[in-house]
Chains A and B, each alone.
Chain A
């Protein structure tokens, strides 16, 4: 399922048919696509930031990242039954962080130094484990949950859901904060050292396990926020909620250059736009997913490191 199938804003078309009116209609249509693209892209970017963070530092693909979003969404659902949205969001973030760190300690830490393929397969296993556990606990029927209704506003005759703007704003703030965190703090410096050479960093006294735990905690808290965004847009929780957005966001991270924080943002927004534009054109709308993954393949062929990824130097 595409997130964009649930449109957040729609054109309120007038009755007139003059040339000027048509032009205005096209203008509104464009604004609609842009806003929808930004909103869908913002969610993908938020998930992709988590992927790229973990990949950039720990050099592993955490395919369970999408399912942590699902865990976060269920956490919001459960807490919302007894409390208010603010408490639910905070609880969701805490649950996701604990879950992410637990997964890292139990599943990935014992594989430190093992082949990347073993870690990858384990991550896929963890992903299915989470989905199945959720199904056992909550059943397979989707749960309905309205976190908060931000309402809508009118801009130039286009009705825009306020949460799309919230999504975008939060994503940009998170991107900037993450970049600053990695570039400007001491623990960020240690993270870069670990990402460059785990062994050398450890021999310089950096506690690599702690750094990776912090990385997972950050990545998982981003997943919790992404879960919240998802619920704002599509207010149902199911156990496979995180699967498709997870893969799409992974695609976005790779397109942008995995390991690069602005790259994740760029890839996410690009994918969001592609999805919304494709959904608008009737002929190609059914092939939206295929188009998105084709873009991934083309980018991988033309520029294997993605738009903003670092060129890998061959070691001699």
Chain B
């Protein structure tokens, strides 16, 4: 058994001369809700892109539950158990809400069905498709989206789109869920709801959450530990309260 669900070792990437991230070491314990914060351009989303295989790191590596998965393709990393949401929402806009989630369930062995069974409409197609739809509905219910399930994703209001992204990511059955600014654009009431929801899914799905967020109240309320990035390097890490009061961190945020 590993102590850490995610462990990065000297993770770094440079684009030409720009070192977007360097020597980033993050250790996240199982079932933790862990924060990744920092001023704009600090390299937070870059870290997410490294962890999901969108970018290949120039230095270092990372482990998921003790297994080195760095260098695998994006879909393999997802199969290993990392799922994410996006800072700029990337739903399948011309698909309905429920079908968005069903895409996330595509590889779930519980709903196995071959192309031929599906095309020839054999009984297993209907059975697995129905089970898949039910599962998708369950996931949507968590986010109060089950009434919207037949609407097109692009017609949902912004806050609901963010929630749908989380539902779709959850559908891939991850061990580690990466949330990129989940509270962006939400009002204080919605943010409060989201806080509860994140805790709920952590417990319900037995997963670990790594989140990027600019809303410090939200971060302080949810994360017990965090890492602060600035100019691609780790500025501070550890206990949330201590890190947020670090003069270096305050200086990085306020400037000067």
Answer whether A203 and B78 are a contact pair too, CB < 8 Å, given A190-B103, A193-B95, A196-B94.
yes
Complex interface bits, A71-90 against B, C-beta within 8 A gives 1, otherwise 0: 00000000000000000000
Q: Which residue of the partner chain, among A185, A192, A197, A205, contacts B104 with CB atoms under 8 Å? A: A205
Secondary structure at the A interface, as helix, strand, loop or mixed, is helix
Contact of B84 among A180, A196, A203, A207 (CB under 8 A): A203
Whether the Cβ atoms of A205 and B95 lie closer than 8 Å is: no
**What are the interface flags for B83-120 relative to A under an 8 Å C-beta threshold, 1 for contact and 0 otherwise?**
11010001111110001001110110000010100110
Residues of B near A169 (CB, < 8 A) are: none
Q: Once the chains bind, are B94 and A204 in contact (CB under 8 Å)?
A: no
The reply to whether A196 and B107 contact each other, CB–CB distance below 8 Å, is no
A184 to B125, CA, bound (A): 10
A208, CB-defined interface residue at 8 Å: yes
In the complex, are the beta carbons of B90 and A189 less than 8 A apart?
no
User: What interface size band does chain A fall in?
Assistant: 20 to 34
Query: Is A310's beta carbon under 8 Å from chain B?
Result: yes
Q: Is the CB of B90 within 8 A of A199?
A: yes
Q: A206 near B: Cβ within 8 Å? A: yes
B115 near A187 with CB under 8 A, answer yes
- Chain B residues with CB under 8 A of A185: 115, 118-119, 125
Within the complex, the shortest CB–CB distance from A312 to chain B, in Å, comes to 11
The reply to whether B172 and A204 form a contact with Cβ atoms under 8 Å apart is yes
**Closest chain B residue, CB of each to CB of A205:** B78
Q: How far is the CB of A178 from chain B (nearest CB, A)?
A: 11
Q: Knowing A186-B118, A192-B92 touch, does A204 contact B99 (C-beta < 8 A)?
A: no
Check if A189 sits within 8 Å of B54, measured CB to CB. Answer: no
A204 and B83 contact, Cβ closer than 8 Å, known pairs A186-B106, A196-B94: yes
Chain A residues numbered 153-204 whose CB sits less than 8 Å from any CB in chain B: 180-181, 184-187, 189-190, 192-193, 196-197, 199-204
Interface size class of B (residues with CB under 8 A): 20 to 34
Q: A193-B95, A199-B90 are in contact. Are A204 and B78 (CB under 8 A)?
A: yes
Contact B74 A196 (CB under 8 A): no
B33 within 8 A of A: no
Residue contact B129 to A197, C-beta cutoff 8 Å: no
Nearest first, the 5 A-B pairs at minimum CB distance are A205-B78, A185-B118, A200-B90, A202-B74, A196-B92
20 A-B pairs, CB-CB below 8 angstroms?
Answer: A184-B121, A186-B106, A189-B99, A189-B102, A192-B92, A192-B95, A196-B92, A199-B54, A200-B91, A201-B92, A202-B73, A202-B78, A203-B75, A204-B104, A204-B169, A204-B172, A205-B79, A205-B106, A205-B172, A206-B107
Using a CB–CB distance below 8 Å, which chain B residues touch chain A? 52, 54, 73-75, 78-79, 83-84, 86, 90-95, 99, 102-104, 106-107, 113, 115, 118-119, 121, 125, 129, 168-169, 171-172
Binding site for B on A (CB under 8 A): 180-181, 184-187, 189-190, 192-193, 196-197, 199-208, 310
- Extra contacts besides A189-B106, A199-B74 (9): CB < 8 Å: A184-B118, A186-B106, A186-B129, A189-B103, A193-B95, A193-B103, A200-B91, A203-B74, A205-B172
